[in-house]
Structure 1
């Protein structure tokens, strides 16, 4: 089987028995199970959730998005070999580290396959929880243009590109379009301040004002844990995005948890330590792919200018990237994953067949 065939490009067509339409995002597809199957698995697998908790099968793909577009490669390679398995392996590792250190649980109940999670339905906090340890990327571009206030926080003059910040900076933005919040524009991914959240915590789906402190505590502790463990691997945790939500356990206790993914090359910037000491930035994250795209096309403004989105969409649809570009990205993802988890990332020759087999034979979820 070719590498192109081993790529999990389409992940919303598996014959999993569902009770609702499949929700397919840029990378993951979510199969909401029927009430009967959810209750059966809760009982059979002894999950720490209420007997009637809604469950889902979450299947990751190898698709790669950047600049709000999905990119394809030559020869039918509609994704990056090993990317999905690398992302899941990294998230699984960090979620387990968080649990071991007593930080918080995640939405994951079981991992039946490297590309699959069984998850409990969470009530998401409508905040993209972003933490930054270095000034780079969009923040640097704004700083270079004279901005000194970010999400209500004043930043000192005199910083240089890619410099470490005086302290960890929390710069949240909205998750989705939130309407009716004073001073917060009703657009997706708009920067907000801590004061915005404190004044309107219910609008962001936080249960109490005290949970503003709790989400920041979990964000900071999670960031610091990952940063320390990456430093031991001579890698630098530059910035990241966490997401949070609420779930209820079997005893009826509501708790704030980590959800989505954490500390991955898709949600974070990770720099190579040896290169940084030589004055070079080598990205072990999706930022490297973004830079490849900016260098690959003759008019990079199409990728950076949101006013040119129709051109950008056409650019992604009409251009197959060279296979060696996607293999370079594959090496980045699998390489940093193997450093983090301490073992090879295996690329399945036929991921769909494997997933169908395990969900049929062990979980009874295939039609």
Structure 2
């Protein structure tokens, strides 16, 4: 099995700090640029799982880079370059402490809430009589707070965001406009690949007084995709949809008694499980991008990344 990169502790030129997130290590270069390393760590239910997934970081980084380029006409984004298959370098933005979740279909956590009787999510009223995996009349935005590591993101409404001063009315209007336009573009690109973009999250910040798209976009860690072929038939029969997302990891964990709650133990991640998750990430890349991933399976990932980033920063 290929090696997985689960931890980095680089010291780059002009580095001021490093932030280790759930799956990314973010290096602050002189308060001007960010070097974002997409590691092979994987998280679910806001818990970092004990085993890394080979090629996952490369898949996430390269999908995000391609979608950042494909949506740059909609709104400015933070990306400057991808000097390594697992690294994106971009401008340093001041992030909004919220995530803009756009949902086109009722599934995942929103379905679980709906099934329990909830009819309003983040201030958005949901129609009666909906079924799992049903398309909403129009995509809805259900924001969450952006929690610190180890804490859970919390649902929040537009009204609460404004009341708490997390964004101004004018800023929120731009966030909403950008999020829906990005989702529309992502939906169109997915459709060309025979996929349905079900839901996704976007993060935004400000740079030089402008609102910028940050972080990843339309990756399997931030999005859920269904296969278009067979969707209607499976929906009519009430069968589970064939999907490309991280939901299968959550479902495997739930079936083994883990939902991130206190006292629960992560089930053993055997080499077979790790390999199957890796294959699913490669499958999504090939489907959404339309080409096979050129696997960068260097034996020393750390040395390669350090050399590539240093060469870029010295330019």
TM exceeding 0.5: yes
Q: Given the alignment, which residue of 69, 77, 81 partners 2:54?
A: 81
Asked whether 1:357 is paired with 2:315, we answer no
**1:45 corresponds to:** none
Q: Is the 8 A contact 1:89 1:341 kept in 2?
A: no
What is the alpha-carbon distance in structure 2 between the residues aligned to residue 145 and residue 242 of structure 1?
A: 27
Unaligned runs of 5+ in 1: 36-52, 73-77, 178-186, 249-253
Q: Is the 8 A contact 2:41 2:48 kept in 1?
A: yes
**1:270 corresponds to:** 225
Structure with the higher strand share, 1 or 2:
2
Report the Cα offset of residue 188 of structure 1: 5.4
Q: Given the alignment, which residue of 231, 254, 261 partners 2:191?
A: 231
1:50-71 deviation per Cα after TM superposition (whole angstroms, max 9, x unaligned):
xxx6112111101111122222
Q: TM-score, normalised by structure 1?
A: 0.78
What is the alpha-carbon distance in structure 1 between the residues aligned to residue 64 and residue 312 of structure 2?
A: 23
**2:174 corresponds to:** 214
What is the alpha-carbon distance in structure 1 between the residues aligned to residue 162 and residue 202 of structure 2?
A: 19
Runs in 1 of length 4+ with deviation above 4 angstroms? Answer: none
1:1-54 deviation per Cα after TM superposition (whole angstroms, max 9, x unaligned):
x51xx31121x2234235333211111111222x4xxxxxxxxxxxxxxxxx61
**1:165 corresponds to:** 136
Q: Is the 8 A contact 1:230 1:236 kept in 2?
A: yes
Unaligned runs of 5+ in 2: 235-239
Range with greater deviation from structure 2 (168-177 or 286-295): 168-177
Structure with the higher helix share, 1 or 2:
1
What SS class does the counterpart of residue 49 from structure 2 fall into?
strand
Q: TM-score, normalised by structure 2?
A: 0.90
Asked whether 1:21 is paired with 2:17, we answer yes
**1:190 corresponds to:** 154
**2:49 corresponds to:** 71
Q: Is the 8 A contact 1:128 1:242 kept in 2?
A: yes
Q: Is the 8 A contact 1:71 1:320 kept in 2?
A: no
What is the alpha-carbon distance in structure 2 between the residues aligned to residue 273 and residue 162 of structure 1?
A: 12
Q: Is the 8 A contact 2:198 2:223 kept in 1?
A: yes
Report the Cα offset of residue 155 of structure 1: 1.3
Report the Cα offset of residue 349 of structure 1: 2.4
- Paired residues in the alignment total 306
In our comparison, the structure showing a higher alpha carbon Rg is: 1
Report the Cα offset of residue 98 of structure 1: 0.9
